[in-house]
Chain A
Amino acid sequence: MTDETRHIILKIAKKCLLLLLLLVVMDLVYRFTLYPRDRERYCSLLEFPQIPIRDTADIIYLGESSEFSCSPTDTDRRSIGTMIGDMMPDHKMGCLSKGAVHAAIYYDILRNIPRDNPVKTVIVTVNMRSFSSEWIYSNLEQPLQKEQIMMKKAPALYKRMLLAFKAYVHWSEAERSKLVRKGFRRQTFTLPHPFPYHNASEWDHAIANSFQLYNGKQVSGDTVELACHYIKCFAYQLDDKNPRIKDSDKIVRLCQRRGWRLVFNILADNMDQIKTLAGPDLEYLMQENAQYIIQRYEPMGVIVVNNQYSVREEDFFETFVTEHYNQRGRRNIAEKVAEKLNDHYSQVINH
């Protein structure tokens, strides 16, 4: 290395140091000026970890849209979490919910709960649709990832830089559709008997093109669309490669470290309609997947409440694939969770 080169490198290094110093100052300026505005704009979840502290909640319920969706005819508009809380009067319940969230977001919320918290039990909603490609590559993933960035434990300016330089998924609609389609092809499964389709994509196409249900019944376009939607959302076989399973594993490890009792609440799906539209094969796959969750997590000390069949068709108030229940549906789920928790707390449920 020549003297001149050494001189140039030294000069650049000095400027880099100066830049670093400036960045520290900028971080301070940003933290006290624009950061509160950005937090409000891009991270509604950031306050969530503080709620258990504020409310001195010893049980927290983490949920998605099933938690706050009510039928227009409901007279009791309490959420599932609130109902569980009311059934366990000796405990204080904190409910944290946001639409379309999934295990990765739950993990970030839990991770950010301060050390000095009163939490003893964490109930995490397990929406079986969240394991499918449609949800993994959902267009709601982008805002959620922005929220995840803002929830990082890092300097404020660094987090804003990650947002500015788009360190989140930013698929175009065409790219996203392609990923979803590719994902459906990767949603493979094996049934205990010969079955003509090997993945969700093949199954979906067969039904969509034939306008015939599994039993050969000819149906209208709307019914076919609904049947196909169920297939795309639930025709998969869980394994440890699924990103949501990896996130759930992280939640388990975190709760073990923090000494929290963890409850996985497998949400109800419209099994009556699924049986009618997609047949026993999809029902079998769904049962298998629920069993996978139970068998994977119960040995790890997690309480798994399987609510898959807890809500009947008439208690789903929407005509498309959702986990939105009326008050009876929500109450059924809450009761099962409270009962299971009761076994552990040895406490009378207040019906």
Chain B
Amino acid sequence: MLFNSIEFLIFFPIVTILFYLLPSRYRWIMLLGASCFFYMWFIPKYILILLITIAIDYTAGILIERWADDVSKKKACLIISIISTCSVLFIFKYLNFCSANYVALAQHFGWSHPGKVLQIALPIGLSFHTFQSLSYVIEVYRGTQKAEHHFGYYSLYVMFYPQLVTGPIERPQNLLRQLHEEKALQYDNIANGLRLILFGLFLKMVVADNLGQYVDQVYANPMDFNTLDISLAMLFYSFQIYGDFFGYSTIALGCALCMGFTLIDNFKAPYQAGSIQEFWRRWHISLSTWFRDYLYIPLGGNRVAVPRWALNTIIVFTVCGIWHGANWTFMIWGFAYGLLLIVERGLRNIHVFDRIENGTGRRIINLLNIFKTFLIVTLLWSIFRATSFANLHDLFAAWAHNVSLPHQLHVDAVTWIALGIFIVLDLILKQRRFDNWCGQLNPYLRWAIYSVMIFAVIALSSVQHYPFIYFQF
């Protein structure tokens, strides 16, 4: 079920009202049932894959706890669990890609091969709930989380509907604990939750979807557009993906908050970051912290020699790229971020602007840094957005050569206004959450903002269907 669908407008109030009507001890049953229903709305049979992952990691958690003193058994259990869970992810997400590359390679070298590229459909949100499931097993192994013995609660931890499909990727210490807590009806939770949902819908439906139509036009046939059009499409994509994903995460946070659950904030004004490192501390926080805690630090993190650190960085970001999708473009995108971080660290030792410490000068440098980071991120998003290398090549070729072509991309006023509002709001909010900021406003101003947003969501949103970009991951 999509958050921006009529079905969800019916589903959400029913689930929330039922949640508060039921006695605490029965709520998990209703929430689990609702989450299954939410997931099965897409393709029902894929819930079986989810159940397999849940069963593996639930059992692994209990066994790891049971063998807490037997390191070898505990480790074996962890490894089996990780391999099994990742195998499911590999089969559904990467097998097609591997088989396609194998077939292409075989054709290139004239090897005999089966000649058929596998076509397995990717269950929605598989990468997200796989990572959430893995974080539980690893935390139990590390002893920082007790194993969950109640299968229902564990299933709900993986399947909790607001964050099931596109995250935030929760940690057991945060969500699993909250699932056991008794939640009382609180006005602030409802009000803040609804504010977040409205803001999320605005970001997705008014900002991202309106920008999406122009981005799609350009990326579908880049050669037909001139340099300015392509630059605009790249810029628009930066805000489309931000609005789309931030929107989804915000709605997820809002839905959970209406029932009294607090999820991880996934974004903190990432386009106001002054460096690539800072960008990754603010963008898709639940994923970047996942990689930090479960891959980067176990590899040695930054407490190793520089060459080893550089290798770790490259590994982590390349894996991060592949996590996003089984395509060489994603891998290159991740790899590029790894390289950039290494370059950034190298440049940190060059103290050109160190004398400028305060005042206007420092502010200008900060602004320049933000602008530089945004440009790099925007450029890299074009690799992320391209459907293939050929598409990427066309995009850059057209960018470089189509300077004199007539302007083709006619952007309507609604899109410009929506983008303007988004940028202004992002600058006002900085790292604050919309609900907290809005809650402190004068009630008249607050209701004026609600009115504008509701009107925009209904009357100014795109009527084209654009699935959430991160659904494909």
Question: A residues within 8 Å of B by Cβ?
Answer: 5, 8-9, 11-12, 18-19, 22-23, 26, 29-30, 34, 38, 42, 142, 146, 157, 160-167, 170, 172, 174
Contacts and interface: CB of A to CB of B under 8 A. Distances in A.
Contacts of A12: 187, 190
How big is chain B's contact interface, by range?
20 to 34
Nearest to A33: B459
A20 B449 CA distance: 16
B187 A30 contact: no
A165 B459 contact: no
A22 B454 CA distance: 10
Given A22-B451, A170-B465, A30 B459 contact: yes
B457 interface: yes
5 contacts: A8-B187, A23-B454, A26-B455, A42-B463, A170-B465
Nearest to B455: A26
A29 B455 contact: yes
Interface string B230-272: 0000000000000000000000000000000000000000000
A167 B463 CA distance: 10
Contacts of B459: 26, 30, 34, 38, 157, 160, 164
Contacts of B304: none
A174 B455 CA distance: 33
Given A157-B459, A163-B463, A164-B205, A26 B451 contact: yes
A347 to B, nearest CB: 46
B461 interface: yes
A164 B458 contact: yes
B4 A166 contact: yes
Given A8-B187, A12-B187, A164 B463 contact: yes
A12 B455 CA distance: 20
A166 B187 contact: no
Contacts of A142: 465
Contacts of A5: 185
A215 B467 CA distance: 47
Nearest to A167: B6
Contacts of B4: 164-166
B18 to A, nearest CB: 15
A2 to B, nearest CB: 9
Given A164-B4, A166-B2, A172-B467, 13 more contacts: A5-B185, A12-B187, A12-B190, A22-B454, A26-B454, A26-B459, A157-B458, A157-B459, A160-B459, A164-B461, A166-B5, A166-B6, A170-B465
**Top 6 A-B residue pairs of the complex, sorted by shortest distance between their CB atoms:** A170-B465, A164-B461, A163-B463, A167-B6, A165-B6, A8-B187
A164 B463 CA distance: 5
Nearest to A172: B467
* Most chain A CB within a 10 A radius of its CB, from B121, B186, B205, B451: B451
A45 to B, nearest CB: 16
Contact of A26 (B186, B458, B463): B458
A129 B459 CA distance: 36
A146 B187 contact: no
B contact patch SS = helix
Contacts of B6: 162, 165-167
A4 to B, nearest CB: 8
Interface string B425-458: 0000000000000000000000100110011011
Contacts of B454: 19, 22-23, 26
Interface string B111-128: 000000000010000000
Contacts of B186: 8
A157 to B, nearest CB: 6
Interface in B173-204: 185-187, 190
B79 interface: no
A20 to B, nearest CB: 12
A3 to B, nearest CB: 12
Interface in B147-180: none
A151 to B, nearest CB: 15
B9 interface: yes
A11 B189 CA distance: 13
Contacts of B2: 166
A166 B6 CA distance: 7
B126 to A, nearest CB: 17
A257 to B, nearest CB: 29
Nearest to B451: A22
Given A26-B451, A166-B465, A161 B458 contact: yes
Nearest to B460: A34
A23 B459 CA distance: 12
Centre residue among A8, A12, A18 by max chain B CB count within 10 A: A8
Contacts of B5: 165-167
Contacts of B457: 164
A315 B220 CA distance: 39
B455 A11 contact: no
Most chain A beta-carbon contacts within 10 A, residue among B4, B9, B465, B467:
B465
A160 B467 CA distance: 19
B9 A165 contact: yes
A9 B185 CA distance: 9
A75 to B, nearest CB: 38
Contacts of A161: 458
Contacts of B458: 26, 30, 157, 160-161, 164
Contacts of A167: 5-6
A5 B9 CA distance: 24
A42 B2 CA distance: 23
B187 A11 contact: yes
Nearest to B462: A164
A12 B185 CA distance: 11
Nearest to B2: A166
Contact of B463 (A11, A18, A146, A174): A146
A97 B140 CA distance: 66
